[in-house]
Amino acid sequence: GENVEQHPSTLSVQEGDSAVIKCTYSDSASNYFPWYKQELGKRPQLIIDIRSNVGEKKDQRIAVTLNKTAKHFSLHITETQPEDSAVYFCAAGDGNNRLAFGKGNQVVVIP
């Protein structure tokens, strides 16, 4: 089955700087790559997703890039703010509505 890995496991950034989280996946059939944000004690919520026919997608301060050849995709957060502090999960899906999640990345924005 699909195996998704996230790096680094923890990331600390100064407020205003950019944060980048990278995920790799194993199944070349995967074609859907969402990112979920989970604040402390809350439910995971979708923040952005990308499909395999697109190389990059942007929504305000967040963007996701996909490299299908290398089987990796990344989340980019620009001008980080304290409310960006959370655990971010990447996932990969094959179109059958079953997602494989990474272990999560703790992002800490230092004011």
Q: Which of 25, 102, 107, 109 binds another protein (CB under 8 A)?
A: 102
Whole-Å CA distances, 92 to 17, 28, 48, 58? 27, 10, 13, 18
- 27/49 with CB nearer another protein: 49
Report the residue from 49, 63, 68, 71 that binds another protein according to the rule CB under 8 A.
Answer: 49
**Phi then psi for 85, rounded to 5 degrees?**
-65, 120
Site for another protein in 54-83 (CB under 8 A): none
The 3-state DSSP class for residue 83 equals helix
Q: Distance between CA atoms of 56 and 45, rounded to whole angstroms?
A: 20
> Can residue 42 be called a binding residue for another protein (CB under 8 A)?
yes
Q: Does 25 bind another protein (CB under 8 A)?
A: no
| SS3 label, residue 47 | strand
Contact set with another protein (CB under 8 A): 31-32, 34, 36, 42-46, 49, 51, 89, 93, 95, 97-104
